[in-house]
């Protein structure tokens, strides 16, 4: 991304605060004028004092000059204080407002993306967090510095250069000639560093994702005593990052030295020219100091751009990743226009093939099945058979590569996505619990529900008594609960939402035997009059289903009621017998006898 492209991308976020920009521009103009006062005052002072010395006059005759000069400098410094305060205050205000808007926009944008966008291969959580945080920080810092530092520096330089040309064309030309050479060197520096900066960005994203992975896997790392291995992985990233950073510093220091040399050549040229004109009688002695000081006003701002230029290059690099997130229109979740007030819940899946983003092999192969309304359909198969993938397609988290899925005779693609999901409840094997109270987490199923409705949902999921036993009741942090209690919160959300279609993906996997029985009884109640699709390794859940579909390696191999397909002696028989053996059914039966 070039600097011009970056400013074009930033412009929509700055436009609402045009009045702040206008104030900053006015203050910048005033500041650039006051910055030249010292040069004029120095010239006047040197020439006036030189005249008094040549006339053999002393302090008595020169006190008026000193008083006049002192008054001007004091007024100028007071004005500078006011101007710089305004520049910093309004620049910081602009940065904060733009940062707020960009942060909110990227969150709103991400929430519209389909699940494929968040695939671990390209947009893992740590990578996205680094891109967003670094992008907003570097971009908004550039906006702030543009009005507080960069714009005033350029304005000071241009005004000083104009004054030099006005005073003497040749001296002005000498000062001007150093600027394009300086910026050409700076441009070469940017081109040399672009690749290293991108490499640093990628390494920081990998480092952030690696740290996040460590935090999420601490129990596994410690149980296998793999702390040294994880530390070495991070050390490898740190070494690569250090190498890239040192490469940048080496190139930067080399080019900074070249730029300092160019600046000093400009100073020498100004001194030689002004001295020549003084010797010719075309300039006063004060004019030497005047032009040297003006050239300092031209070169010093450019010299101060060194650290700012690094920030600008960081903004150029990190803005690429940030704006890539905002521009990823291909990943916006597809949505149709069809918004039915109610659904029956009849799904028909015809020859569906699907491959996850980044995978080489399809997960589903020409799958066909019918999910009848007001009945319970079970999906059975070994891990990796494609059961959860099918649920993801039915909930429109992904769209099939080929084939068709219809709901009540209407292609799922035609449904408005928000409207569709209002009619669907989803309970996963591991449901996300938000950082908040139990009440806030249960109410996630229906934010406008009353207290009575929330308590009723908790009772139906056998959670109420356990929550009431806690010191803070429903105001207890949900993250402090056990895994089984958190799963009950997820089920309570479904009771509160009360949808006509329910997808259950191993809903009792993390519950103990008593809780599993309680939840089964609750689910038996909520299943009545609803379309239910359940994935489970629980014999009791499978046997109760009206129809069972058996999947193997992404293909549908058997279907029918429990008794019928069990008698076929195929894949389902093997799976069911394995479940029974794992439960030690023989000993259980003898015990019950």
The DSSP annotation for 282-298 comes to SS-HHHHHHHHHHHHHH
- Secondary structure class of 224 (helix, strand, coil): coil
pLDDT at 303: 64
- Secondary structure class of 232 (helix, strand, coil): helix
Strand partners, 300: none
Residues 6+ apart with CB under 8 A from 322: 106, 131, 132, 134, 135, 136, 139
pLDDT at 246: 84
Alpha helices, H only, 500-570 = 513-527, 539-543, 562-567
**Of the candidates 381, 561, 412, 404, the residue with the CA atom closest to the CA atom of residue 501:** 412
What are the two backbone dihedrals, phi and then psi, of residue 347, each rounded to the nearest 5 degrees?
Answer: -100, 135
pLDDT at 593: 63
Q: What is the arithmetic mean of pLDDT over 4-33?
A: 81
pLDDT at 329: 63
- Per-residue pLDDT of 112-155, as tens digits, reads 877 777 765 556 676 777 778 878 887 877 777 777 667 777 77
More confident residue, 91 or 375: 375
**Cα(463)–Cα(513) distance, integer angstroms:** 15
Q: What is the arithmetic mean of pLDDT over 193-205?
A: 74
pLDDT at 307: 61
**Cα(134)–Cα(194) distance, integer angstroms:** 16
Flag the least confident range among 107-116, 209-218, 299-308, 538-547.
299-308
Contact yes or no for 408/344 (Cβ under 8 A):
yes
- Does the pLDDT at position 391 exceed 60? yes
Q: What is the arithmetic mean of pLDDT over 528-553?
A: 86
Residues 6+ apart with CB under 8 A from 355: 361, 362, 363, 401
pLDDT at 58: 63
Share of the chain above pLDDT 90, in %: 12
DSSP of 109-161: HHTTB-GGGG-TTT--HHHHHHHHHHHHHHHHHHHHHIIIIIHHHHHHHHHHH
- Does the pLDDT at position 26 exceed 70? yes
- Which run of H or E residues covers position 494? helix 483-497
Q: What is the 3 state secondary structure string of 349-381? A: EEEEEECCCCCCCCCEEEEEEEECCCCEEEEEE
**Cα(473)–Cα(481) distance, integer angstroms:** 11
Q: What is the arithmetic mean of pLDDT over 176-190?
A: 76
Is the torsion defined by CA of 448, 450, 451, 456 positive or negative? negative
- Per-residue pLDDT of 245-259, as tens digits, reads 888 778 878 877 787
Query: Model-level pTM greater than 0.75?
Result: no
pLDDT at 347: 94
Q: What is the arithmetic mean of pLDDT over 10-32?
A: 82
Would you mind telling me the total number of residues written for the chain in this entry?
593
Buried b (16+ CB within 10 A) or exposed e, 470-485: eeeebebebeebeebb
């Amino acid at each position: 991304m070039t600097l011009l492209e970056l400013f074009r991308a930033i412009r929509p976020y700055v436009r609402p605060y045009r009045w702040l920009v206008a104030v900053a521009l006015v203050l910048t103009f005033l500041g650039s004028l006051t910055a030249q006062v010292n040069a004029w005052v120095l010239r006047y002072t040197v020439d006036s004092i030189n005249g008094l010395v040549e006339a053999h006059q002393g302090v008595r005759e020169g006190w008026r000059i000193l008083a006049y000069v002192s008054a001007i400098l004091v007024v100028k410094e007071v004005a500078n204080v006011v101007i710089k305060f305004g520049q910093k205050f309004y620049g910081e205000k602009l940065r904060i407002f733009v940062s707020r808007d960009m942060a909110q926009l990227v969150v709103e944008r991400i929430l519209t993306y389909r699940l494929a966008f968040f695939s671990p291969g390209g947009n893992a959580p740590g990578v996205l967090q680094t891109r967003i945080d670094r992008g907003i920080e570097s971009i908004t810092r550039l906006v702030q510095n543009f009005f507080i530092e960069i714009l005033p520096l350029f304005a000071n330089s241009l005004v000083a250069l104009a004054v030099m040309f006005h005073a003497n064309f040749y001296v002005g030309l000498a000062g001007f000639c150093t600027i394009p050479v300086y910026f050409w060197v700076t441009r070469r520096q940017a081109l040399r560093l672009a690749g290293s900066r991108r490499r640093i960005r990628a390494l920081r994203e990998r480092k952030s994702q690696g740290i996040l992975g460590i935090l999420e896997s601490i129990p596994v790392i410690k149980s296998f005593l793999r702390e040294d291995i994880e530390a070495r992985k991070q050390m490898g990233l740190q070494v690569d990052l250090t190498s890239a950073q040192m490469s940048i510093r080496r190139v930067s220091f080399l080019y900074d030295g070249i730029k300092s040399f160019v600046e000093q050549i400009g100073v020498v040229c100004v001194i030689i020219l002004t001295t020549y004109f003084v010797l010719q009688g075309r300039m006063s002695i004060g004019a030497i100091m005047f032009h040297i000081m003006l050239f300092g006003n031209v070169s010093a701002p450019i010299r101060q751009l060194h650290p700012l230029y690094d920030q600008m290059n960081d903004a150029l690099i990190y803005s690429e990743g940030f704006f890539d997130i905002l521009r990823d229109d291909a990943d916006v979740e597809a949505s149709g226009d069809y918004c039915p007030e109610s659904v029956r819940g009849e799904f028909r899946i015809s020859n569906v093939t699907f491959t996850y983003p980044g995978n080489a092999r399809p997960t589903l192969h020409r799958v066909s099945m019918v999910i009848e309304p007001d009945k319970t359909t079970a999906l059975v198969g070994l891990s990796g058979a494609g059961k959860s993938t099918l649920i993801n397609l039915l909930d429109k988290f992904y769209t099939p590569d080929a084939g068709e899925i219809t709901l009540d005779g209407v292609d799922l693609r035609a449904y408005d996505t928000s409207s569709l999901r209002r009619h669907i409840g989803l309970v996963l094997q591991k449901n996300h619990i938000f950082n908040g109270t139990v009440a806030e987490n249960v109410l996630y199923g229906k934010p406008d529900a009353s207290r009575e409705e929330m308590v009723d949902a908790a009772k139906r999921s056998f959670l109420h008594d356990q929550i009431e036993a806690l010191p803070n009741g429903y105001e207890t942090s949900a993250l402090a609960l056990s895994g089984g209690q958190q799963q009950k919160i997820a089920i309570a959300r479904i009771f509160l939402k009360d949808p006509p279609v329910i997808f259950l993906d191993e809903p009792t996997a993390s519950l103990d035997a008593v809780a599993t029985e309680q939840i089964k009884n609750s689910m038996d109640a909520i299943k009545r009059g609803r379309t239910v699709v359940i994935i489970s390794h629980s014999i009791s859940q499978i046997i109760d289903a009206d129809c069972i579909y058996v999947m193997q390696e992404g293909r549908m191999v058997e279907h029918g009621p429990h008794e019928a397909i069990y008698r076929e002696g195929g894949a389902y028989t093997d799976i069911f017998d394995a479940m029974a053996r794992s439960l030690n059914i023989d000993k259980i039966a003898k015990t019950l006898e």
